[in-house]
Structures are given as structure tokens and as C-alpha cells.
């Protein structure tokens, strides 16, 4: 029996699913296995997976006292980097990746970044297997209060914004993190806006206007980020087809 390339997806809250990104990966031939540690599900080892996708969430990446699964998630991501397993972290997932590998994350010194905003792709992204497909200044939904203040040693910065310089990075040959949310559909944004309404208003953003912004940019956002998701799927499939053995440890 031919085994399909499986990606382990770590989801931190009921309404923070893989959204567009999950659909794009599935369409590209990857099988997703989503675990819900907030609901008591344990995190498996990476032995039977060809990739790892860690999603966003409202918690900070070191909120271990209220989210008991976060240390295990950080350890899982560090293991993935050591194995050179294709890994993609989105927002909280990127922060967890940075923290797991020696970077620094803190409350954002410039305040929350909210809305469909442009990021500047850095010269180092030229030739990158994922970020090399993006235009020079793509837009992405930003919805975060934390910032990656310092990247891990050896990480390559791939995108920045005026408020926060570490918008995307690569660690090793096959682990990526992005501060924005390329996965979020308008329906997911609407659910977040309902939940975060007081925080959005306090930050000067109308929840209704923010959701309308996402809906209005949907075609642009999908057109920008689907090729990157497909590129990640291609990296996963190559890893799977090569039959790479995990690093001993």
C-alpha cells in the first residue's frame, strides 16, 4: 500500500483551524492529521509525518501556566528542525518556533498589528523554496499582539513590516515561520472579531470594518498565498518521496 505524505497540524483553539492553507495543502496532494491539544489530545511523535503545521491562537507562546501543551509543542518544533522536517508556523506557530530554537518573543512594543497590511519581502527570500514565489510587497492579514523580538541564531529573515521587522523567517533548510495569517478566511475572521471585539475596539479597530476588509481582499490574499502553500506542499512531498530517515536523538 502506498502511504500518502502526512502533515501533522497542531491547532490551539476551536476557531483557529487551517482554513485556506489546509485546503491548499490537501488540493496539492498532502494529507492533514489535525490534533487538538487544548481538548486533551496528546501530541504524537513526528516519526510517521512528512511535515508539521502549527497554527495560531490567542495565547502567548510561553503561556505555559494556562496552556499546558505549549512546552510539548515547542519541543516538537525543535525536534522538527533537528530532523529537517518541513515545518510551517503561523503567527503563534511562528512565535513558538522562534522561542523553541532560542529566539525571543515579547508583547509587541508598537502595539497590535491588525488588518490586511503589506509586508516587505527581503532580498534573502530570493530563491527561497516558499517565499521566493511572493511579490515584493504582498499583503497578509495581521492579527497579533506579540512580536518576535529576536530570531534564533542562524535564522534567515525573509519579510518585515514597518512596525515589526521579523514578519517571516526560515530556520535551517525546511522550517518557516510567518507572523501574519495566510490561512484565515473571512468566516474565520468574523468568528475572531466576535471573540476579540473588546480588544479590537480598544486598539481603535471596528470589528465589523476589519471583517469587511478581509472579505474585500479575499481574492487578492488567496492569489498571493496559495502559491506559497503549494510550494510548502511540494517540499513535503519531496521529503516523503525521498524516504528521509529522522535524525537520531
Candidates 136, 183, 138, 177; CA nearest to 157 is 177
Q: Rounded distance, CA 94 to CA 55, Å? A: 8
Residues marked active site are found at 91, 181, 183
- Is the separation of the CB atoms in 20 and 56 below 8 Å? no
Intra-chain end-to-end CA distance of the chain, in Å = 29
Give Cβ neighbours of residue 75 (< 8 Å, ≥ 6 apart). Answer: 100
Q: Rounded distance, CA 97 to CA 90, Å? A: 9
Q: Rounded distance, CA 68 to CA 47, Å? A: 23
- Is the separation of the CB atoms in 48 and 23 below 8 Å? no
Cell 498589528 belongs to 113
Q: From edge to edge, which strands make up the β-sheet containing 6-10?
A: 31-35, 6-10, 51-54, 87-90, 175-178, 168-171, 156-160, 120-121
Amino acid at each position: 500500500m502506498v502511504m500518502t505524505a502526512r502533515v501533522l497540524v497542531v491547532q490551539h483553539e476551536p476557531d483557529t483551524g487551517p482554513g485556506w492553507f489546509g485546503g491548499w495543502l490537501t488540493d496539492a496532494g498532502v494529507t492533514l492529521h489535525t490534533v487538538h491539544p487544548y481538548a486533551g489530545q496528546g501530541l504524537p511523535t513526528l516519526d510517521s509525518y512528512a511535515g508539521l503545521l502549527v497554527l495560531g491562537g490567542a495565547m502567548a507562546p510561553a503561556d505555559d501556566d494556562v496552556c499546558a501543551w505549549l512546552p510539548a509543542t515547542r519541543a516538537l518544533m525543535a525536534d522538527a528542525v533537528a530532523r529537517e522536517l518541513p515545518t510551517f508556523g503561523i503567527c503563534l506557530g511562528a512565535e513558538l518556533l522562534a522561542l523553541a530554537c532560542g529566539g525571543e518573543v515579547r508583547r509587541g512594543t508598537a502595539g497590535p498589528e491588525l488588518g490586511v497590511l503589506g509586508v516587505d519581502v527581503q532580498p534573502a527570500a530570493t530563491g527561497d523554496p516558499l517565499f521566493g514565489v511572493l511579490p515584493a510587497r504582498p499583503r497578509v492579514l495581521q492579527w497579533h499582539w506579540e512580536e518576535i523580538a529576536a530570531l534564533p541564531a542562524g535564522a534567515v529573515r525573509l519579510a518585515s513590516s514597518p512596525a515589526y521587522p521579523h514578519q517571516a523567517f526560515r530556520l535551517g533548510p525546511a522550517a518557516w515561520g510567518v507572523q501574519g495569517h495566510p490561512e484565515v478566511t473571512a468566516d474565520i475572521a468574523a468568528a475572531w472579531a466576535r471573540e476579540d471585539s473588546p480588544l479590537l475596539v480598544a486598539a481603535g479597530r471596528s470589528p465589523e470594518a476589519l471583517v469587511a476588509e478581509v472579505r474585500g481582499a479575499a481574492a487578492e490574499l488567496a492569489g498571493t498565498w496559495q502559491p506559497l502553500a503549494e510550494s510548502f506542499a511540494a517540499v513535503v512531498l519531496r521529503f516523503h518521496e525521498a524516504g528521509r530517515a529522522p535524525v537520531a536523538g
